[in-house]
Amino acid sequence: MCTHAGDAVNGCQLSDILILQENTGKVVEGQREYRVTIKNRCSCPQADVKVRCFGVNSVEPLDKSKIRPLDSDICIITDGKPITKGTPVIFTYAFQTLQSFPVISAKPRC
């Protein structure tokens, strides 16, 4: 059972996966670089985290161990391995605009 006050009775909620983005100040091939930090605020590890990503546009190579497109809409985080509280997943991309990565699914492993 999770200890976070907003947790569902049966474990974690999608809202426990927090995605933060910031401009790194670096420019790659004329495009701004952004750092994405994915945190799990639930005490239970969450596996198979999937986000809507529309392929992740980037002029710099992506770290495919952190985010990998499954199809044109969906990306998987850390190849489905659990994200634990206190151990965020961080990756960068460079593109003309900030991209959105809404969480669409996750499986708590309590």
Q: Residue 56: what pLDDT?
A: 84
pLDDT digits (tens, 9 = 90+) for 91-107: 999 999 899 999 999 99
pLDDT digits (tens, 9 = 90+) for 36-64: 999 999 999 999 999 999 878 899 999 99
Provide the Cα torsion 31, 101, 37, 48; round to 10°.
-130
Whole-angstrom Cα distance, residue 32 to residue 17? 25
Is there a contact between 43 and 108 (Cβ–Cβ < 8 Å)? no
Per the DSSP assignment, residues forming a β-bridge with 22 are: 35
Instruction: Decide: pTM greater than 0.95.
Output: no
Q: Give the domain ranges of the chain.
A: 14-108
Task: Kindly report which listed range (10-14, 17-21, 36-40, 54-58) carries the lowest average pLDDT score.
Answer: 10-14
Q: Could you name the CATH architecture of 14-108?
A: Sandwich (2.60)
